[in-house]
Amino acid sequence: MTDIYSGKTGSMFKKIKPDKWRHFEVGILMGLVLQFFSWKIFTDNFWLSVAISAIIVIAVSYGFELFSKITGKGTYDFIDAVASVIGGIIGIALTLPFQL
C-alpha cells in the first residue's frame, strides 16, 4: 500500500490488469442497459427496479465465470466477476439521477 502515499498519481490503477478493466467496462454497460429496461418495466417501484438490476448483474457476472469453470472454455477467475459487479453497480448508479 505504499503506492497510495508515494505521490505517484494513478500508480495503484496501473497495477490492475487490462482484462479486469474490460470486465469492469462491460459491467458498466450491463448495469446501464439493465437499469434502463428495469426502470421502464417497473415504473411504479423505483427500488424494485434497482434491486432486480443488481441481482441480474451479480448473477450474470458470476454465472459467466462459473460457466467458464464448468465447461473449461475460458479461464475461471472470481476477480473478473467482482470487476463486472463493481462496474455494473456503477452503471446502475449512473442512471439513477435521471430516474429521480
What are the tens digits of pLDDT across the range 48-89?
A: 999 999 999 999 999 999 999 999 998 999 999 999 999 999
Q: Which three cell numbers stand for residue 66?
A: 462459473
Cβ count within 10 A of residue 2: 7
Q: In whole angstroms, give the CA distance from residue 93 to residue 12.
A: 24
Distance of CA 32 to the CA centre of its chain: 10
Q: Which three cell numbers stand for residue 4?
A: 497510495
Q: What is the pTM of this model?
A: 0.83
Inter-residue contact 53 to 27 (CB < 8 Å): no
pLDDT, position 1 = 47
